[in-house]
Amino acid sequence: MKIHSILILGAKSDIGMAIAHRFAKAGYSIQLAARNIIELESDSKDIALRYNVKVTVHEFDVLKTSTHKKFLDNLPEIPSVTVSSVGYMGEQKINENNLEELTKVIRTNFEGPANIFSEIANKFEIRGYGTLIGISSVAGERGRAKNYIYGSSKSAFTTFLSGLRNRLSKKNIHVLTVLPGFVDTKMTKNLDLPPRLTVKPFELAKIVFNAYKKKKNIVYIGKIWFLIMMLIRSIPESIFKLMKL
């Protein structure tokens, strides 16, 4: 029986690590990729021992797009599945007034992931199969004054994934767009999140794995966010711009 493998970009994130555990539990070999591989060593050993799977660690910087092709060429194998859990929110007020921070948000959430996914998609297309899973956000569904820079970068990534899915739909390549709402992670630790609308990373990972197995195109984390965003998208712009959202 073929042992499937998964490459996790942004593996040090809470979401990335939760997804690694869920796929390892299902017997997948794991490739963990992040900027500081030393910080991945203990996690990689834990996953390997806990689930009796092969785990490798790889240095990866989503912002150094010129290194992405070499990064893929140096992997022990082209994975069956690739997940991008890379993300950077920053602070809206700082992003508005600091071009360097604004650029970092856009490049981390869109340019970098789009570049590496394009490289991997080409390899999948040549091989004839594969799955790409992009962690985007409901923040990209409509621009809000409180987080429109982060939201716009996620909106761009969502659109990219949609186009990639359309391009590869007849190539035996699955593209899954994941749209979380509030997730209890290090990135959101300073935010006052509503408990009833907030999920833990391990809950997200379970939903992602099930959506992957069912070959879904888009999945909201959780279902209530589909309804919430449908309502938000339906508000006329003349009214929406007056709302404090």
Q: Would you say residue 190 lies in a domain?
A: yes
Q: How many domains does the structure of the chain reveal?
A: 1
What helix, strand, coil percent values describe the chain, rounded to 5? 55, 15, 30
pLDDT beyond 60 at 221:
yes
Domain that holds residue 185: 5-240
Is the distance from CB of 69 to CB of 60 less than 8 angstroms?
no
pLDDT beyond 70 at 1:
no
Is 194 or 180 the better-scoring residue by pLDDT?
180
Q: Would you say residue 207 lies in a domain?
A: yes
Q: What CATH number has the domain bearing residue 9?
A: 3.40.50.720
Triad 232, 190, 225: Cα angle to 5°: 25
Average model confidence (pLDDT) across the chain: 94
* Its pTM surpasses 0.85: yes
Spatial separation of the C-alpha atoms in residues 158 and 236, rounded to whole Å: 22
pLDDT beyond 90 at 126:
yes
Per residue in 158-173, pLDDT (tens digit) is: 999 999 999 999 999 9
Per residue in 88-117, pLDDT (tens digit) is: 999 999 999 999 999 999 999 999 999 999
What's the confidence (pLDDT) of residue 193?
A: 78
